[in-house]
Structure 1
Amino acid sequence: MGKMRHKLLRSLIALALCVLWYIPVQAATEASADADANALQAPDPVELKIGNRSVFVFRGALLGETPANRAKRATASIVDALQSDDDLTVRVDPIQSSFLVLLGYNRAFIVSPSDVGSPEKSVRDLAEQAASNLRLVVTENGEARSLKFLLGAAGYSLAATAIFVLLLKGAAYLKRKLLSLLPRAMRKHSGLLKFGETPLFDLQYLYYVFDRFFWLIYWILVALLSYQWLSFVLSQFPYTRAWGESLNLYLIQLFHYLLRGTLNAMPGLAVAVCIVLIARAISAFSRHLLTRMARPGTLRWLTAETLQPTVRLTSLAIWLFALVMAYPYLPGSGTDAFKGLSVLIGIMISLGASSVVGQGAAGLILTYSRTLRAGEYVRVGDHEGTVTEVGMFTTTIRTGLGEVLTLPNSMITGNVTKNYSRAVQGQGYIVDTVVTIGYDTPWRQVEAMLIEAASRTEGILQTPAPHVFQTALSDFYPEYRLVAQAVPKEPRPRAVLLSELHAHIQDVFNEYGVQIMSPHYLGDPEQAKWVPRDQWHAAPAKPQNDG
């Protein structure tokens, strides 16, 4: 029996604990559900407006009345009181936690704690503000009934309109006067717009710029005057006074917003300007440092050819770093519009500049590998000529015919490049040509004739002396290659020099009666294929000194 009693007692205690735990949990759940239901069923705020003047905003229900019904009841009560000749003194009386707004001896409306929309304001403050707005309604209602006041307001409006028209005419006259004086002033001070003897601006385009500037200032002034005139006229009449005050308030808020934004942006702009000045100083210092380091014997890779691109790359890196550092301090950098624009620009650059980046990388490879230099004679693929400029994206070559070719740097790095100027001593370039002569002609005679032809050609140097190489022993003839260094006294196209050299080779071989077997040899003819000297100037050729 004792054990049964202990078990029964423990069961009763467990049941009591469960009941005690369930009650507060259930109460909290019901309270949360009620709060959610009240939040879901919260009525919409309704504004109380009398005579175009906002008086109060009803936000909560009171004694079973919704904000809409409260606004209707208050409108009817206030309109009835304004139409009577009773005392229209506005008072505020407390009622428990609410406040009663009285218009004369009639109740206008009640301000309850449920109407408080901001925790910064109390119910009393809200009621006093509503009473102040209602006093304005009473005052404007009396003014609207006063013929004397309305006539005065009309007079003020007409006077303001006359002043407004005069100001518009004055602004138009001032604009025309400035434009008429502008040509004379520009001619008088035209010397200030010159750099030496070169005019910086065309006076015709400068006049157009000033004309557009005056036009912009004129219409800004017209807009401000129209805005102020409309605001003043609307403020003179009771029914439209709220509109005029809202226009004034909007303009004041706009200026306040602009001024506050400008003042808030000043510290960030100051930091950004400091970053720009520091970046400029570092860029100038790096330029002077690299110029000193480019002197011979300092750095092997930094030469006169690589100095300028190195300076530009260093400056670009410095300014990009400065831009990244100054970006957070720029006005509006944190806005979604600014971020979206930055992303759009980045996508446009990444999609459209891939080929440009490739050309720039090829230009850097050409510059730092020193594959080409200005003044060298090169052959790139099927193009041959003198390099005039090695740029970041393209290289310019002048051909022997005087044509100027602009080759993409990626094309140069992707083709075999022959440089005829690297194997020379001093200035100039290599000139070579190939002839094939039969085995019946002594090779020593052939070499002597080729060297003599080179000595007759103006522009081919004798020091270092030209050389002749036997590059092949073919089935029917040996192949001789004449290699010489050329540097004309005046720049001459390589094609002209080669043409003169070939002409002298033919003359020399004809003088000694040696037949040139180029391009192909099939068999020995009955007569040697060479031109006697007495036939060199056969018609229509003109006799000349072939020295």
Structure 2
Amino acid sequence: MSVPFRGLSAHDRAAAAGKRIDDALDKLSVDDISEVWAESGADKGVIIRTGNLVLFALLTGDVEGGDRAAVEQEGRRAADVLRDIVKERSEARRPMELLTDIAFAVLATLVLVVLCWLLVRLNRVVQRRLIAITEARMRLDIAGFDLRPVVWVSLRRLVALVHLLLVVLVFYLWLSYVLRQFPYSRPWGAQLGLYLIDLALQMMGGLVEQLPNLLTLFVIFFITRGIVRLISAWFHAVEKGTVQVGWLDPPTASITRKLVSVLIGLFALVVAYPYIPGAGSDAFKGVSVFVGLMLSLGSAGIVNQLMSGLVVLYSRAVRVGDFVHVGDHEGTVREMGALSIKLITRTHEEVIIPNAVLSSTPMRNLTRQLQEGGLLLTTAVTIGYDTPWRQVEGLLELAASRTAGLLREPRPFVLQTALSDYYVEYLLNVGTLHPSVYKQTLSDLHQNIQDAFNEFGVQIMSPHFRRNPDEKVWVPTEHWYDPPARGSATSVPPKASDGSKGSASPAADSGPPT
């Protein structure tokens, strides 16, 4: 602070002192600057002068407290600052000293490059050494678990972090040293050095204060990891069939293990939260609120997928290896995740179906009932009324017996699903244990149906007529059991006298023949 002096305000005093210093700056010498205590009546203070020229004065009112010791201390500090300015100004005007400063800066830069190269080489050597030690010498088996991968990853990351910190420290020291070599940047270099020292002291003090919390975090981490390892081992045993429980089957164990591990990790995070360094600071609370807001806004879809996945998983509607049909896609389930399932189609395409779609879309599982009679395949043909239905059924059964991949028990059977105006609709039902290739099986069956009907002279068509034919379209009783129909002539019903029974009269002018 400054006080008025003999009619001059504090601002006028400072401006006059600055003008005097600027006028005498080129003539000032470090040795000529001195500070003396002076008293004149009620005015007391320290005078900073060069020779007989008074540059400025510090009065008792300018210094907080106003005692002589405080004023003299501030006077010495002000004189030292002025001496440093004069010294650096003089040094900046000497070319040889400036060249010397540049040479030292270049030398420091070369040292920086060499140190960084050595640190990189040292990091590689230490990494290789750690790999050798971890793989060959360390034996860390706890409850049957090999902890060497965990130790290796932790040590590798720790060494990488130390390497990064050393590089940053070397660069920081280089920058501080280079800035201190030149007069005009010397205050910045000094400030960097002081900042580094203060930061190191603060970090050491904070580390000492946080040691109990860090120890607690390490204990929570290792306990949580041990519990997760033990639970994962049990679920792995269930997945492999080594351990059998009634409420959990092997296909469900994998995803259940992941869900339980996540829940344990979240619980451990909640317990460890108060012990995290800086957890009570306003910045940490702000970050926590921000992260919570982001999760609440962006996790609605994820939660929907997770809940849908749980419904699909624990309802046991589908398992890995099942052949399913969902929407426009059908294929073999190769993987079931918490968010989606993966199908491999007949054309070797990989289809990802979200669990939300799976739970809201009707799904046909072609594999689940294989142990109860196999998958039932159906195919329909329409044959005119002039062909005996017993012969048609026999031909369809013959085609089924010729098709590979179909079950012989239960036997294939035929249903007459409709007596249409122009033809009878026959539905052939056959069983198979190979749903993943059912389309190929149906293709083979269709080929055999065509061959069988061609062999016995039966035309696969649905006759439509523009007018009534000259003769009635009916099947004589002697042809009811034409080969390969089952039965014998003795079981043929009596022949109709005029052929009117069992005949069909197609509608007239109903369209062109097909």
For normalisation by structure 2, the TM-score amounts to 0.62
2:308 counterpart residue number: 362
- Partner Cα distance (1:393, 1:144) in 2: 69
**CA distance in structure 2 between the partners assigned to 1:404 and 1:264 by the alignment:** 55
**Aligned positions of 1:264-343 closer than 5 A:** 264-291=209-236, 298-300=245-247, 302-343=248-289
Q: Classify the secondary structure of the residue corresponding to 1:389.
A: strand
Distance 1:402 1:244 in 2: 66
Query: Cα offset for 1:242?
Result: 7.0
Name 1:510's counterpart in structure 2.
454
CA distance in 2, matches of 1:174, 1:297: 60
1:434 is aligned to 2:383: no
Query: What do the CA deviations read for 1:481-512 (whole angstroms, capped 9, x no partner)?
Result: 33333235xx9632211100111122223333
| 1:521–1:362 Cα change, 3 Å | farther
2:180 counterpart letter in structure 1 = S
Q: Is the 8 A contact 1:164 1:226 kept in 2?
A: no
1:375 to 297, 302, 321: 321
> Could you tell me which amino acid in structure 2 is paired with residue 257 of structure 1?
Q
What residue is the counterpart of 1:132 in the other structure? Answer: 73
Asked if the contact 2:344/2:351 (under 8 Å) is kept, the reply is yes
Match of 2:173, SS state, is: helix
Distance 1:248 1:169, change over 3 A: closer
Q: Does 1:224 align with 2:173?
A: yes
> Does the residue aligned with 1:372 lie in a helix, a strand or coil?
coil
- Letter paired with 2:179: L
Contact 2:324 2:366 in 1 (8 A): yes
Shift of 1:427: 9.9
Change (3 A) 1:470 1:142: closer
| Shift in alpha-carbon separation, 1:226–1:288, aligned structure 2, 3 A | closer
The secondary structure found in structure 2 opposite 1:457 is coil
- Is contact 1:449–1:508 with CA below 8 Å preserved after alignment? yes
1:522 has 2:461 as partner:
no
What SS does structure 2 have at the residue aligned with 1:273?
Answer: helix
Aligned to 1:543: none
Contact 1:460 1:487 (C-alpha < 8 Å) held by counterparts = yes
Letter in 2 for 1:225: W
Q: Which residue of 2 aligns with 1:539?
A: none
Q: Secondary structure at the match of 2:338?
A: coil
Give the deviation of 1:260 after TM superposition: 3.6
Amino acid corresponding to residue 450 of structure 2 in structure 1: Q
Query: Which amino acid counterpart does residue 166 of structure 1 have in structure 2?
Result: L
The residue number in structure 2 matching 1:498 is 442
Question: Do residues 166 (structure 1) and 116 (structure 2) align?
Answer: no
User: Which residue is 2:145 aligned to?
Assistant: none
Decide which moves more: 280-289 or 426-435. 426-435
Question: Quick check: 1:74–1:109 contact (8 Å CA) kept in 2?
Answer: no
* Counterpart position of 1:51: none
Q: Quick one: distance in 1 between partners of 2:455 and 2:331?
A: 33
AA paired with 2:327?
Answer: G
- Rate the CA distance shift 1:356–1:143 in 2: closer, same or farther, 3 A: closer
1:406 aligns with 2:355: no
State the distance in 1 between where 2:388 and 2:338 align.
52
* Alpha-carbon distance, 1:366 to partner: 1.9
Q: Is the 8 A contact 2:406 2:430 kept in 1?
A: yes
Gaps of 5+ in 2: 49-53, 136-161, 475-514
Shift in Å, 1:411: 2.9
Tell me which amino acid in the other structure corresponds to 2:194. L
Q: Following the alignment from structure 1 to structure 2, what is the Cα–Cα distance between the partners of residues 244 and 175?
A: 21
Q: Which residue of 1 aligns with 2:336?
A: 390
Distance 1:468 1:272 in 2: 72
For 2:83 and 2:351, the matched residues in 1 are separated by 89
Q: Is the 8 A contact 1:447 1:468 kept in 2?
A: yes
SS state of the match for residue 493, structure 1?
Answer: helix
> Match for 1:171: what amino acid?
L
Alpha-carbon separation, structure 1, partners of 2:87 and 2:448: 118
Cα pair 1:374 1:388 within 8 Å, conserved: yes
CA shift, 1:445, in A, is 4.4
Deviation at 1:227, TM superposition (A): 1.5
* Conserved 8 A contact 1:333-1:339: yes
Q: Which residue of 2 aligns with 1:202?
A: none
Superposed displacement of residue 304, structure 1? 1.7
| Match for residue 401 of structure 2 among 455, 467, 470 | 455
| Gap regions ≥5 residues in structure 1 | 1-56, 117-122, 196-212, 529-547
Which residue is 2:367 aligned to?
Answer: 421
Residue 91 and residue 290 in structure 1: after superposition, are their counterparts in 2 closer, same or farther (change >3 A)?
farther
- How has the CA–CA distance of structure 1 residues 460 and 102 changed in structure 2, closer, same or farther, with 3 Å as cutoff? same
Amino acid at match of 1:383: H
Specify which structure has the bigger relative contact order, considering alpha-carbon pairs within 8 angstroms and separated by 6 or more residues. Answer: 2
Size of the alignment, in residue pairs?
A: 425
The answer to whether the 8 A contact 1:90-1:135 is kept is no
| 3-state SS in 2 of match to 1:321 | helix
Q: How does 1:15-414 map to 2 (within 5 A)?
A: 57=1, 88-90=35-37, 101-102=45-46, 109=58, 111=60, 123=65, 128-138=69-79, 162-172=103-113, 221-231=170-180, 234=183, 246-291=191-236, 298-300=245-247, 302-414=248-360
2:494 paired residue number = none
The alpha-carbon distance between structure 1 residues 343 and 370, as it changes in their structure 2 partners (threshold 3 A), is: same
What amino acid is aligned across from residue 453 of structure 2 in structure 1?
Answer: F
Given that residues 175 and 189 in structure 2 are in contact (C-alpha distance below 8 angstroms), is that contact kept between their aligned partners in structure 1? no
- AA paired with 1:493? V
Deviation readout 1:410-437 (Å, 9 max, x if unpaired): 3333332222222322796432222334
C-alpha change, 1:303 and 1:155, in structure 2 (3 Å) is: same
Identity percentage of aligned residues: 35
Amino acid of the structure 2 residue aligned with 1:231: R
